[in-house]
A and B are shown apart, each in its own frame.
Chain A
């Protein structure tokens, strides 16, 4: 029971990571930097909780915020680069944060951060304060894990909703225009640098939040959690699930997380399978499993339903 709850929780966190890459990709930029932002968010949240005793509802957004603040100058500098060069530069950022985390005393070096306050444990203690017994016939630990899952699912849902709504707005149109044709977008009056940096910082924020959640879901984080393979993993979520609808990365995260649970013992094999899957997708279905076309009909139906009688005016 608790095992499945945990897997589902990690699927939610992975969904947030997938969305973080999706956001940047929605302006046509390929980033491997979100593993670095995740590290930043994870260590920030962990350290704020350990050293300063901040409550967890503050440490997680603080990690995201710091990541976003770092992303603005980094994005302004890097987003001049295109395609593979941008990917390499952002990977460089990720890897240098790994090296830094490996070498600072405050981050615990290669051993990482230990004894990070755990969300489930905190909740258990909190519930014990006023509940004699967990509801639904669950043990208190199970109940706490369930609440943790609900929190992470709610955060994923919130991120998803924000991205969908933004996508339907003027900002979303600017993102899509830039992704389709940057030159034409700028000729249409769009400040392409601004929107690319915006998407980059938003992606960094989500990655930072996911990092903070990670820190508080496990008791321990270390530099090795945030390197190259993490950067690739997030990218695979999007490539497999779909690069042009927000539901894509969430589906990708769910599928690949589940898959990797089956492949738990074979850690190296996992990366090979990720690589093979990515190759397969790029060759067979480069747009990913989910495409905008699948949602277009749904969107039309929704609009008709919301504006009955207004049909004639449109």
Chain B
């Protein structure tokens, strides 16, 4: 894809997330190459591609965990390149991790409370002496944590250590923890990985409910069934480059995408 019509960005003005020319090199390897994305508020936007295509790296660049080699990332109309990850989170972007990164020794509830960190204010003094304001804040946060755990179906696991939960529940705990940051944009990195069919059906329901609550979802997923059923729009990466973008139906019919997935040859990007 060349860039002939970059000037007429009129329809992109209101994009919640807008990525332009995003590039990241690791030594000789270009993991993400000149990627453009525009995620509109309220969308469920799918990001797919074969293993090693650069999807997770994209997430890391967008959320500030990795600095891009080049390119721009705008969130809510504001450039967020160079911001520390916690600042990006505070602006309303949350993520889960492909290789689950929960705080294993903490309970499910505590994990969610960590997610609420940026929305709470208690400092050293207030925390130690439990001022009335801090007690109120903490009680409200705990209540909210329980509600989020209920939402993802972990209401019964609130006091269990995260590390002891089965895999599928850990993935959902990651989602609850991310939701606790009160995001506008929720970035999910392969949330259905390792789930059986009924679990991934539940997950799809959950993601729809999240969208109904007014959040936008950016979704990396390998499970085509999930992607095709859930997403409003899908972008496809291959070898770091975006090779296609469109509705799920368009993507399914796109020869370049089929080729990339069947791995016939790497001439797909031309």
Contact = CB atoms under 8 A, between A and B. Distances in A.
A274 B103 CA distance: 32
Contacts of B130: 165, 169
Contact of B89 (A166, A183, A187, A292): A187
A188 B65 contact: no
B95 A180 contact: no
A171 B114 CA distance: 10
Nearest to B110: A173
B120 interface: yes
A184 B104 CA distance: 12
A181 B138 CA distance: 23
Given A165-B128, A171-B127, A183 B101 contact: yes
B65 A170 contact: no
A183 B65 CA distance: 8
A190 B117 contact: yes
A304 to B, nearest CB: 12
Contacts of B129: 165
A237 to B, nearest CB: 22
A187 B105 contact: no
Interface string B134-149: 1000100000000000
Contact of A180 (B84, B94, B105, B177): B105
B127 A176 contact: no
Contacts of B85: 183, 186-187
Nearest to A189: B118
A181 B86 contact: no
Interface residues of B, number: 37
A177 B103 contact: yes
Interface residues of A, number: 27
Contacts of A124: none
Contacts of B113: 170, 173
Contacts of A192: 86
Contact of A188 (B84, B104, B117, B134): B117
A64 B110 CA distance: 32
Contacts of A171: 122-124, 127
A7 interface: no
Interface string A144-176: 000000000000000000100110111111101
Contact of B106 (A169, A180, A190, A191): A180
Contact of B86 (A165, A189, A292): A189
A289 interface: no
Contacts, number: 97
A173 B63 contact: no
A187 B95 contact: yes
The prevalent SS among residues of A at the interface is helix
A184 B124 contact: no
Interface string B79-97: 0000011100110001101
The prevalent SS among residues of B at the interface is helix
B240 to A, nearest CB: 22
A63 B119 CA distance: 35
A190 B90 CA distance: 9
B56 interface: no
B67 to A, nearest CB: 14
A188 B183 CA distance: 11
A152 to B, nearest CB: 21
B117 A189 contact: yes
A190 B127 contact: no
Nearest to A244: B105
Interface in B156-204: 177-178, 181
A176 B105 contact: yes
B248 interface: no
Given A187-B65, A190-B86, A166 B103 contact: no
Contacts of B123: 171
A191 B87 CA distance: 8
B114 A190 contact: yes
A185 interface: yes
A198 B114 contact: no
Contact of B117 (A165, A173, A244): A173
Given A180-B104, A180-B105, A181-B101, A166 B114 contact: no
B106 A188 contact: no
4 pairs of A and B residues whose beta carbons are closest in the complex: A169-B127, A189-B118, A189-B89, A184-B101
6 contacts: A165-B130, A166-B128, A176-B110, A183-B101, A184-B101, A185-B103
Given A165-B127, A165-B129, 19 more contacts: A162-B128, A169-B127, A169-B130, A170-B117, A176-B103, A176-B106, A177-B106, A177-B117, A184-B97, A186-B85, A187-B89, A187-B94, A187-B95, A187-B97, A188-B86, A189-B181, A190-B118, A191-B86, A292-B105
Interface of B: 63, 65, 84-86, 89-90, 94-95, 97, 101-106, 110, 113-115, 117-120, 122-124, 126-130, 134, 138, 177-178, 181
